[in-house]
């Protein structure tokens, strides 16, 4: 058997042991020239117990001669184990457990004298991504507002074991580095990767809380970004159905966008269901790749091409960015949500029309929003309009990035020229071309782009954001396995997050084939009635676009369908306040 196959077998045995999050295995030579297997593990379990478990599951020649406890497994940029750093970590930790009858520890990992205090190794740190730095600054400047806090909720039918539920989530926390991460800005912003973080799960008896009030209170509670575990859960039991049937509960999952995005939480939910089905424990070790690997990938990127692209992609002329005409102060505060829906029939016609133009319904939504921005400017001349779009941030050359939990989703500025005489399909094609251009640089932050564009701090590249949620596939195999245990769960519903932008338009295809829209807005800038009218006008445009005169319909023709609609009003942004910077 080759060394590679043998070590792979030992590694698999190690990470399958209870309490072992991660491990590294290599071969070394002793003083007599003999070959011995050495293992380093991220675990709290007693090493003697782990050795006993290995001796019962592996042939004697594959049981490691030495077991070392380390806080993490350091890696080189190519993803291989950093042996030198690993030896340094092992030297700081407790005495290794040798094979029976062996002599002193190997060089570089000598155990301390009995009674000597062993200094705890400092937690591993990694630099913030540019996107995290932007969001962290904004989150600190808006404490207590629920900004950048996202929530999902869904119904759980059937038996719900709180201990098993909590243990399953704790198993996910133990596996996922991102859930044990927190921020430190004492000596410059860094991400601190803690060895342990406990999950918070609170269960509420039937009738003890109002779910909507709980959701809002939990959102405004926010998170202490200096402590790990920027995800928590509430379980709200529902009364037994009057006509019988299984009892149910509503699950509320709250997380912070500075550490996770929606795609990541979908990955974590799959891991949770796997752990729950396994009795509360997720098999396998710590996940790789993780946020450390993403940080290394970012550090290797040459930003010069991205700088050149964005310097030319953002025109020198200031774009129209407000989706409404300037209006008086609203006198309101907090975050609002306005919803509307394009029914299944019109939504199908919209998709067919977009497909005939080699585009998607997401592109059609961008056309409608660009038209609303242009209309708000009250002009008949051609003009540039600008808004933000979200990109998944996972179209990068990093292995298994689609399974990596972290803050990869990004918001990028989109600028397009709107001319009343331009055919609507032509405007749609231009927006599609720009979306393709953005794909090569979706890892660049909005703050970097603003700097490279040469804009002043007070000049905004966008005041609104379009989030087209391409929902990840249902976990049908996991749902079936849960159903076999008498448990039924619904796909989670997102509430929408109050972001950097005063207006964010969320869109997704609902189960009936319709297109659901929701505008999450800053009520100090946009009143509730105006937000409702804005999202309603967007739906009306989406309904009318396929009815226009084919390829000859112009922007002016599309805007004429809103001639009887009132103008939306929006208050000006307040003067910028001094920020509580972590730098």
CATH code of the domain containing 148: 3.30.559.10
Q: What is the CATH number of the domain that holds 78?
A: 3.30.300.30
Residue 48 lies in a domain: yes
Of 87-96, 187-196, 310-319, minimum mean pLDDT range = 87-96
Residues 158 and 77 in one domain: no
Residues 416 and 536 in one domain: yes
Domain boundary among 250, 265, 293: 293
Task: Provide the 8-state DSSP code for 311.
Answer: H
pLDDT at 481: 94
| Host domain of residue 206 | 125-293
pLDDT at 376: 95
In the chain, the percentage of residues whose pLDDT exceeds 70 is 90
* 114-123 residue pLDDT tens: 444 445 567 8
Domain boundary among 72, 93, 114: 93
Residues 245 and 387 in one domain: no
* 1-20 residue pLDDT tens: 567 777 878 887 887 787 78
Residues 59 and 158 in one domain: no
Residues 413 and 515 in one domain: yes
Domain boundary among 263, 293, 323: 293
How far apart, in whole angstroms, are the C-alpha atoms of residue 87 and residue 107? 9
* 476-515 residue pLDDT tens: 899 999 999 999 998 899 888 888 899 999 999 988 999 9
Residues 338 and 202 in one domain: no
pLDDT at 517: 96
Instruction: Calculate ∠ Cα 51-67-110, nearest 5°.
Output: 140
25: three-class secondary structure by DSSP: strand
- Who wins on pLDDT, 243 or 499? 499
pLDDT at 121: 65
Residues 382 and 360 in one domain: yes
Residues 284 and 255 in one domain: yes
pLDDT at 564: 94
Residue 496 lies in a domain: no
Residues 214 and 305 in one domain: no
What integer is the mean pLDDT of 147-175?
94
Tell me how far the alpha carbon of residue 344 is from its chain's centroid: 29
Residue 98 lies in a domain: no
* 31-46 residue pLDDT tens: 676 788 888 988 878 8
Residue 155 lies in a domain: yes
What integer is the mean pLDDT of 311-315?
86
Residue 327 lies in a domain: yes
Q: What is the CATH number of the domain that holds 458?
A: 3.30.559.30
Checking if the pLDDT of 549 tops 80, the result is no
pLDDT at 317: 81
pTM of the model: 0.80
Residues 319 and 407 in one domain: yes
Residue 572 lies in a domain: no
pLDDT tier for residue 182 given thresholds of 50, 70 and 90 = very high
Structure tokens at 529: 């009635």
| CB-based burial label for 302 (10 Å; 0-12, 13-18, 19+) | exposed
Residues in the chain: 583
Checking if the pLDDT of 408 tops 60, the result is yes
Please give the mean pLDDT across all residues of the chain: 87
Residues 371 and 273 in one domain: no
Enclosing H/E stretch for 253: strand 248-256
Residue 87 lies in a domain: yes
Residues 270 and 309 in one domain: no
Reported as half-sphere exposure (CB side, CA atoms, 13 A), residue 148 has a value of: 28
The structural domain count of the chain equals 3
pLDDT tier for residue 474 given thresholds of 50, 70 and 90 = low
Checking if the pLDDT of 88 tops 60, the result is yes
Residue 474 lies in a domain: no
Structure tokens at 411: 């918001």
């Amino acid at each position: 058997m080759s060394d590679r196959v043998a070590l792979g077998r030992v590694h698999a045995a190690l990470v399958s042991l209870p309490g072992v999050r991660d491990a590294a295995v290599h071969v070394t030579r002793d003083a007599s020239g003999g070959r011995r297997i050495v293992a380093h593990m991220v675990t709290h379990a007693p090493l003697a117990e782990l050795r006993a478990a290995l001796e019962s599951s592996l042939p004697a020649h594959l049981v490691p001669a030495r077991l070392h406890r380390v806080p993490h497994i350091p890696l080189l940029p190519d993803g291989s184990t950093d042996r030198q750093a690993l030896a340094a970590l092992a030297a700081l930790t407790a005495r290794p457990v040798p094979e029976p009858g062996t002599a002193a520890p190997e060089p570089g990992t000598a155990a301390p004298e009995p009674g000597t205090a062993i200094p705890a190794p400092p937690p591993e740190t990694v630099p913030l991504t540019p996107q995290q730095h932007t969001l962290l600054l904004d989150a600190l400047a808006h404490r207590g507002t629920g900004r950048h806090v996202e929530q999902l909720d869904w119904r759980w039918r059937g038996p719900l074991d709180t201990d098993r539920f909590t243990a399953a989530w704790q198993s996910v926390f133990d596996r996922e580095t991102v859930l044990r991460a927190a921020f430190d800005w004492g000596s410059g912003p860094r991400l601190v990767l803690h060895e342990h973080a406990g999950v918070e799960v609170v269960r509420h008896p039937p009738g003890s809380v109002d779910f909507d009030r709980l959701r809002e209170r939990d959102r405004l509670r926010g998170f202490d970004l200096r402590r790990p575990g920027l995800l928590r859960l509430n379980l709200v039991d529902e009364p037994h159905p009057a006509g019988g049937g299984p009892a149910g509960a509503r699950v509320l999952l709250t997380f912070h966008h500075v550490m996770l995005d929606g795609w990541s939480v979908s990955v974590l939910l799959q891991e949770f269901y796997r752990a729950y089905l396994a009795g509360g424990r997720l098999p396998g070790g710590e996940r790789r790749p993780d946020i450390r690997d993403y940080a290394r990938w970012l550090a290797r990127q040459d930003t010069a091409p991205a700088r050149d692209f964005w310097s030319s992609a953002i025109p020198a002329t200031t774009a129209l960015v407000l989706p409404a005409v300037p209006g008086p102060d609203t006198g309101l505060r907090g975050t609002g949500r306005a919803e509307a829906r394009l029914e299944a029939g019109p939504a199908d016609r919209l998709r067919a029309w977009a497909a005939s133009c080699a585009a998607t319904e997401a592109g059609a939504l961008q056309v409608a929003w660009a038209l609303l921005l242009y209309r708000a400017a009250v002009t008949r001349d051609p003009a540039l309009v600008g808004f933000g779009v979200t990109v998944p941030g996972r179209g990068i050359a990093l292995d298994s990035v689609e399974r990596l939990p972290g803050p990869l989703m990004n918001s990028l500025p989109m600028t397009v020229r709107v001319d009343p005489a331009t055919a609507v399909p032509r405007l749609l094609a231009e927006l599609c071309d720009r979306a393709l251009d953005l794909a090569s640089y979706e890892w660049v932050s909005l703050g970097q782009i603003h700097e490279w564009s040469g804009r002043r701090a007070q000049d905004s590249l966008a005041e609104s954001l379009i989030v087209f949620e391409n929902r990840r596939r249902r976990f049908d195999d996991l749902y079936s396995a849960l159903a076999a245990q008498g448990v039924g769960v619904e796909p989670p519903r997102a509430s929408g997050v109050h972001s950097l932008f005063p207006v964010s338009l969320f869109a997704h295809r609902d189960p009936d084939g319709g297109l659901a829209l929701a505008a999450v807005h800053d009520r100090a800038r946009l009143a509730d009635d105006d937000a409702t009218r804005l999202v309603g006008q967007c739906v009306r445009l989406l309904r009318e676009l396929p009815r226009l005169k084919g390829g000859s319909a112009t922007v002016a023709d599309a805007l004429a369908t809103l001639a009887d609609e009132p103008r939306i009003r929006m208050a000006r942004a307040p003067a910028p306040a001094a920020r509580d910077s972590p730098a």
